[in-house]
Amino acid sequence: MSDKLTEIMAWKRREIAPLLRTVAESELSQLDARLPRPPSFAAALRRTDGRLAVIAEIKRRSPSAGDIKAGASSLDQARRYQAAGADALSVLTDEKFFGGTLDDLRGVTTHFRTTAPAIPCLRKDFMVHPIQVLQAREAGASAILIIVRALTDEEITVLAAAATAAGLDALFEIHTEPEIGRAVRHGAKIIGVNNRDLAIFKTDLALSERLIPQFPRDIIAISESGISSRIDAARARAAGAQAVLVGEALMRSPDPAALVAEFRSA
């Protein structure tokens, strides 16, 4: 694990420590049955026209880029992405490093319950415990993130089972070849290649080009980070990606709809 990721994960474990309690799969199943069903994240990425799906990210800042769009309204940004025709949203809920909150996710999913089209939302955070899965389901998420390199096999097993019990999809994020095998062994149906190396903050699309062709054929493949143009999206698509996850470029763009259309045309 990189030094920065180690720092973030250590902080996340301290941050959620006061919230920790036993969260049984039965509690998550009951919660899922009680709450409105969120739109399917996985289904949104399987576009019927065969074009690249776009996961638009709400991200105010990051450790690598610093401030991207400080003070941005998550709801206003979600509306812009909705108008742009994004297939899914990724909502950062980590406050210390990315400037997001659970209220951002809650506000966005509440908006989508009252307007069309309803767009599935990924809770983008550093997940370590089922209590965070419960929070995600309560906030209206459709999926959670599981960062393979940041977790033990036992933690991945618990998080994946919690997501299933809560009726959520799980995006398994990987960065190396061995992590593909780990994700598959844990039953991953959606795998994203993070093209950014958090150890040195270098982004290289060649990583998606190398790793995605090694995925099992039934996996939904996502290329994450470093996508800012049609050429980038075309490279990801040629590698076998069914979707791209784009944050910084869309947050900075004065015309997200044009950029989403550019990615789709790849």
**Angle at the Cα of 220 from the Cα atoms of 107 and 121, rounded to 5 degrees:** 0
Flag whether pLDDT at 204 surpasses 60.
yes
Query: What's the whole-number mean pLDDT along residues 226-236?
Result: 95
- pLDDT band at residue 64 using 50, 70 and 90 as cut-offs: confident
Look at residues 178, 177, 175, 189 and name the one whose alpha carbon lies nearest to residue 147. Answer: 175
**Type of residue at 247:** G
> Full-prediction pTM beyond 0.85?
yes
Q: Which residue would you say has higher pLDDT here, 266 or 136?
A: 136
Flag whether pLDDT at 177 surpasses 60.
yes
pLDDT digits (tens, 9 = 90+) for 76-118: 999 999 999 999 999 999 999 999 999 999 999 999 988 888 8
Q: What is the rounded distance in angstroms from the CA atom of residue 190 to the CA atom of residue 255? A: 29
Looking at residue 265, its pLDDT comes to 86
Looking at residue 200, its pLDDT comes to 62
Flag whether pLDDT at 199 surpasses 70.
no
> DSSP alpha helices (H): ranges in 85-213?
95-98, 102-114, 130-138, 153-165, 177-185, 206-211
Fold of 3-15+38-264: TIM Barrel (3.20.20)
pLDDT digits (tens, 9 = 90+) for 116-174: 888 999 999 999 999 999 999 999 999 999 999 999 999 999 999 999 999 999 999 99
pLDDT digits (tens, 9 = 90+) for 28-63: 999 999 999 999 999 999 998 889 999 999 999 988
DSSP character at residue 191:
E
Six-digit token string for 109: 């999913």
Q: What is the rounded distance in angstroms from the CA atom of residue 208 to the CA atom of residue 193? A: 6
Q: What are the catalytic residues?
A: 57, 59, 124, 173, 194, 224-225
pLDDT digits (tens, 9 = 90+) for 233-245: 999 999 999 999 9
Looking at residue 69, its pLDDT comes to 87
**Type of residue at 69:** K
Flag whether pLDDT at 1 surpasses 70.
no
Burial of 66 (0-12, 13-18, 19+ CB in 10 A): exposed
